[in-house]
Amino acid sequence: MRVAILQCDDVMEKFQVQFGNYSDMIKDMFKVVDDTLEFEVFDSRQGSYPRNLDDYDFYITTGSKTGAYDDLLWIQKLIEFVQLLDKKKKKLIGICFGHQIIAKALHSDVKKSEKGWGIGVSVNRIVATPDWMSEAVSQLNIIVSHQDQVVSLPKDAQVIAESNFCKYFIVQWNDHFLSIQGHPEFSSDYSLALMNERKGIIPMQRIEEGIDSLNIEPDNALFTRWLMNFVKQ
């Protein structure tokens, strides 16, 4: 299968030697469950997109420090590209910022949450079990790093997972779009590095809670298997 990664940000340069860039994390995430995938990276910030949508079996976004609601030309172009993928019924996986971009593309709302930063490992309740969820569980633990949240959904969207902190954590928007507020591509070590970097930006109590949460093993491989089931169905 061929995969197009829509890159929307870069890992800080000082962390790239140890952790790679966001596109590298996504590649590594999939290699754990399927090492036959072929990837091509397109930098959405530079207006780079595939010419032929049919060249790729599915699309996936990286996260971004930018807000999906920010008035920037590249974000508007990304939203328009996602709307084109929707029109053509192409499979798209949205991660964090991509989750929010899908919401904007499908005319839903995204806002900075009054609950503040979500960091560390988020424990989420599974509230729906579609056919692609072959390994059904009651909860899913995924690393998060976000302030913004999707705050409304179209009537045909289905919430798959939720928490008290994030109402729409995993959403299946239709037969071809699936997105998650978390970061299944992040390692616990990278999450720790980010939290230490943001001391002074994020309240210390939240930092301490986030660091403590890293004792929980994230379910990255499980969620990635679900993704593969979704894109193949």
| 3, 96, 104 from 92: Cα distances, Å | 10, 13, 14
Cα–Cα dist 183/43, whole Å: 19
| Residue 136: predicted pLDDT | 80
Structure tokens at 58: 């599915």
pLDDT digits over 28-64, tens only? 999 999 999 999 999 999 999 999 999 999 999 999 9
Beta strands per DSSP E along 151-208: 158-162, 170-172, 177-180
pLDDT digits over 197-224, tens only? 999 999 999 999 999 999 999 999 999 9
Contact 225, 134 (CB under 8 A): yes
> What pairing do the DSSP bridges indicate for beta strands 110-112 and 118-126?
unpaired
Question: Among 32, 26, 35, which Cα is nearest to 1's?
Answer: 35
Residue boundaries of the structural domains of the chain = 2-232
Q: What is the mean pLDDT of residues 82-93?
A: 98
Question: If you classify domain 2-232 with CATH, what class do you get?
Answer: alpha beta
CB proximity list for 137: less than 8 A, separation 6 or greater: 126, 219, 222
| DSSP-based three-state secondary structure for 55 | helix
> Using 50, 70 and 90 to split pLDDT, how confident is the model at 1?
very high
When the pLDDT of each residue in the chain is averaged and rounded to a whole number, the result is 97
> Using 50, 70 and 90 to split pLDDT, how confident is the model at 135?
confident
Helix (H) or strand (E) holding 139: strand 139-146
